[in-house]
Structure 1
Amino acid sequence: MLSVRIREFAARFGALADLYIFKREPRFLGPLVPIPAMHQVPEDAQGYPAVTPEQLLELQKKQGK
């Protein structure tokens, strides 16, 4: 357990040193790649909750048998 605490302390100290002592900035690793997102929810998609209380009771009855 002591080794984990020492490792965590070293990691936090290293992060603070990067920020305040070495003044390091984030690196630019390449052009931005857009991530397409579905903007429309299908009409037949089930809403929240994913399982209705009635369906939950049916599942419990099936598992109880």
Structure 2
Amino acid sequence: CYAVPSPKDMWSVRLREFGARFGALADLYIFKREPRFLGPLIPIPALQEVPDGAQSYPAVTPQQLLELQKKEK
């Protein structure tokens, strides 16, 4: 884990965060703005199901790993 030191001027960060949160609340409740999308909706594909007879994970079996190691020697 890499610990990043905190900014030297923390007040500017807090002020920016306060402004961003206030702006978001103002958009929602005062100006009644809705989220907008800048393009067509793109569907997210569903997870693919693996048939019962097919190998899913791991992609390489331990036996296949041993065979590959023997071939490399």
- Place the TM-score, normalised by the shorter chain, in its bin: 0.5 to 0.7
| Cα root mean square deviation, aligned | 2.2
Rg larger in structure: 2
Percent of pairs with identical residues: 74
Deviation, structure 1 residue 12:
0.5
For each residue in 1:35-56, what CA deviation from the matched residue of structure 2 results, as whole angstroms up to 9, or x when unmatched? Answer: 3334213632227xxxxxxxxx
Normalising by structure 2, we get a TM-score of 0.50
Q: Show structure 2 runs of 5+ residues with no match.
A: 1-9, 59-73
Q: How many residues align?
A: 47
Any stretches of 5+ residues in structure 1 without a counterpart? Answer: 48-65
Q: TM-score, normalised by structure 1?
A: 0.54
Which ranges of 4 or more aligned residues in structure 1 deviate by more than 3 Å? none
